[in-house]
């Protein structure tokens, strides 16, 4: 064994929060001004919305309690009626179908291919009868947005982007999250910007933004503090339910000083990912799918697929990697993995999705934070390759 487990880098710790956050948090705690709508203007949450919209080149942003809240509010803002059918990739996080259920809509799962991206043929086949689409760019793997946007437009239905794991990813040079009608992002700790919890949605559509603002809990005249949208909001005063999914000022104080760090995190995360991917792709047992040509990724984790493994060998790979100090999870092997669609028992009987199921039974998930050094990433790559060879090389020797 090339490396012992105790020399492996810690991949679980978050990056430190920039020091400016502390001064702002102290100021807020000193005044007790934590509610976003107390200050007459320039509350930290309002400033975050402006800065985030500018960063992405979007017109409007609404900060909320989580990406799940943003997805739910998107469906409500789009006025999806009870029972509306919402297409989603079958490879996503359980929170996504859950947000659809929360909005009284019905998730319709679309096949995902070996490269972790939506199977466009199955998408096109399931589009008739659908009322909306939520594209999860799962783990930051971008599906063919040109095809998806064209097909959805031809069908006359809106596309919402779940960009929870795609902050900093571009498609044909445009920011993921700004391609569909609404884009939703997460500030949960395992995403590129960490506030513990939090989310934000962006849109170019003033009316959708206004509806989402009111329903996020801008009760009475609080919507006036979204100055650019006050006219659009006024129409909806008292006409929409208030779901109270607001962000509070402390979260914004933690997020804002991280935004200037995003470019560096994206650059380092991509360097780390591409370094490990190149090493793994030199091993016949492992395969990291390529990005699609229009896509420039912003990875903060690594996914790879086992080639020619049985279920038992895939399980053994998890054990061999763990013994070398690297946590590797095969998405489909664990009975409680929230990213395996057949574990979403709250939806009832799982649909037949053999392509996605086969992919999930061999696709592996590994943490690979942007703060790791290239040297640390090399050790992780070596440990994974060692683990694969420990499982497969004896079998190969026998076969030969
Ligand atoms: C994390 C994540 C979510 C949920 O985000 P929350 O802010 O925790 O609600 C949704 N979709 C994807 C793809 C995610 O990775």
Question: Which of 94, 141, 86, 76 shows the shortest CA–CA distance to 110?
Answer: 86
Ordered per-residue pLDDT tens for the chain, 400 residues: 455 667 899 999 989 999 999 999 999 999 999 999 999 999 999 999 999 999 999 999 999 999 999 999 999 999 999 999 999 999 999 999 999 999 999 999 999 999 999 999 999 999 999 999 999 999 999 999 999 999 999 999 999 999 999 999 999 999 999 999 999 999 999 999 999 999 999 999 999 999 999 999 999 999 999 999 999 999 999 999 999 999 999 999 999 999 999 999 999 999 999 999 999 999 999 999 999 999 999 999 999 999 999 999 999 999 999 999 999 999 999 889 999 999 999 999 999 999 999 999 999 999 999 999 999 999 999 999 999 999 998 766 565 4
Q: Report CA(320)–ligand 1 centroid distance (Å).
A: 29
As a whole number of angstroms, the distance between CA 274 and CA 250 comes to: 35
Indicate the number of domains in the chain: 2
Give Cα 235 to chain centroid, integer Å.
32
Predicted pLDDT at 285: 97
- CATH code assigned at 231: 3.40.640.10
The alpha carbons of the chain give a radius of gyration, in whole angstroms, of 22
> Does the beta carbon of 300 sit less than 6 angstroms from any atom of ligand 1?
no
Query: Best of 65, 66, 68 to mutate for ligand 1, by most ligand atoms within 8 A of CB?
Result: 68
Give residue 242's domain range.
19-260
In the numeric block, which tokens belong to residue 126?
């399931």
Check whether residue 237 and residue 348 sit in a common domain. no
DSSP 207-269: HHHHHHHHHHH-TTTGGGGSGGGHHHHHTTTTTS-----BPPHHHHHHHGGGGGGHHHHHHHH
Among 212, 241, 260, the domain boundary falls at 260
> Does the beta carbon of 95 sit less than 6 angstroms from any atom of ligand 1?
yes
> Does the beta carbon of 43 sit less than 6 angstroms from any atom of ligand 1?
no
As a whole number of angstroms, the distance between CA 266 and CA 336 comes to: 30
358 membership: H or E segment, kind and range: helix 354-362
Region for 140 from its dihedrals, namely left if φ exceeds 0, alpha if ψ lies in -120 to 50, beta otherwise: left
Q: Report CA(70)–ligand 1 centroid distance (Å).
A: 10
In ligand 1, the atom with minimum distance to the C-alpha of 187 is: 7
Is 2 within a domain?
Answer: no
Check whether residue 254 and residue 312 sit in a common domain. no
Is 11 within a domain?
Answer: no
Check whether residue 149 and residue 267 sit in a common domain. no
Among 214, 245, 260, the domain boundary falls at 260
Check whether residue 75 and residue 190 sit in a common domain. yes
As a whole number of angstroms, the distance between CA 234 and CA 223 comes to: 8
As a whole number of angstroms, the distance between CA 400 and CA 397 comes to: 5
Q: Report CA(337)–ligand 1 centroid distance (Å).
A: 14
Q: Report CA(360)–ligand 1 centroid distance (Å).
A: 18
> Does the beta carbon of 186 sit less than 6 angstroms from any atom of ligand 1?
yes
Q: Report CA(25)–ligand 1 centroid distance (Å).
A: 25
Predicted pLDDT at 370: 95
> Does the beta carbon of 138 sit less than 6 angstroms from any atom of ligand 1?
yes
Predicted TM-score (pTM) of this structure? 0.96
Is 9 within a domain?
Answer: no
Is 13 within a domain?
Answer: no
Terminal CA-CA length for the chain: 23
Q: Report CA(93)–ligand 1 centroid distance (Å).
A: 7
Check whether residue 296 and residue 210 sit in a common domain. no
- Which residues make Cβ contacts (< 8 Å) with residue 329, sequence separation at least 6? 318, 337, 364, 365, 366
As a whole number of angstroms, the distance between CA 349 and CA 81 comes to: 23
Among 204, 230, 260, the domain boundary falls at 260
In the numeric block, which tokens belong to residue 68?
């799940």
Check whether residue 204 and residue 294 sit in a common domain. no
- Which residues make Cβ contacts (< 8 Å) with residue 291, sequence separation at least 6? 142, 297
Predicted pLDDT at 400: 47
- CATH code assigned at 362: 3.90.1150.10
> Does the beta carbon of 194 sit less than 6 angstroms from any atom of ligand 1?
no
185 membership: H or E segment, kind and range: strand 182-186
């Amino acid at each position: 064994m090339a490396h012992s487990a105790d020399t492996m880098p810690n991949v679980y710790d978050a990056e430190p929060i920039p020091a400016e956050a502390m001064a702002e948090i102290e100021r807020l705690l000193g005044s007790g001004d934590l509610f976003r709508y107390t200050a007459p203007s320039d509350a930290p949450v309002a400033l975050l919305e402006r800065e985030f919209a500018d960063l992405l080149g979007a017109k409007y942003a609404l900060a909320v309690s989580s990406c799940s809240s943003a997805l739910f509010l998107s469906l409500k803002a789009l006025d999806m009626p009870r029972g509306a059918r919402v297409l989603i990739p079958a490879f996503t996080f359980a929170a996504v179908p859950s947000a659809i259920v929360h909005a009284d809509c019905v998730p319709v799962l679309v096949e995902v291919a070996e490269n972790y991206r939506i199977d466009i043929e199955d998408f096109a086949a399931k589009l008739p009868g659908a009322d909306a689409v939520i594209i999860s760019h799962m783990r930051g793997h971008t599906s063919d947005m040109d095809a998806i946007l064209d097909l959805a437009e031809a069908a006359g239905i809106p596309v919402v982007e779940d960009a929870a794991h795609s902050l900093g990813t571009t498609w044909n040079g445009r920011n993921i999250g700004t391609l569909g009608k609404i884009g939703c992002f997460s500030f949960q700790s395992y995403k590129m910007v960490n506030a513990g919890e939090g989310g934000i949605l962006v849109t170019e559509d003033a009316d959708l933004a206004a509806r989402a603002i009111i329903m996020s809990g801008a009760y009475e005249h609080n919507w006036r503090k979204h100055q650019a949208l006050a006219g659009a909001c006024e129409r909806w005063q008292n006409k929409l339910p208030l779901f109270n999914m607001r962000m509070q000022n402390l979260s914004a104080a933690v997020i804002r000083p991280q935004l200037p760090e995003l470019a560096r995190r994206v650059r380092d995360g991509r360097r780390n990912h591409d370094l490990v991917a190149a090493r793994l792709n030199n091993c016949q047992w492992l395969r990291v799918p390529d990005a699609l040509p229009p896509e420039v990724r912003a990875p903060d984790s690594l996914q790879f697929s086992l080639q020619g493994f049985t279920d038992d060998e895939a399980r053994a790979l998890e054990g061999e990697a763990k013994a070398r100090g690297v946590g590797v999870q095969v998405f489909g092997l664990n009975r409680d993995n929230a990213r395996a669609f057949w574990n979403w028992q709250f939806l009832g009987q799982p649909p037949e999705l053999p392509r996605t199921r086969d992919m999930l039974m061999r696709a592996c998930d590994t943490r690979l934070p942007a703060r790791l050094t290239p040297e640390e990433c090399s050790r992780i790559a070596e440990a994974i390759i060692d683990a694969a060879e420990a499982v497969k090389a004896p079998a190969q020797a026998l076969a030969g």
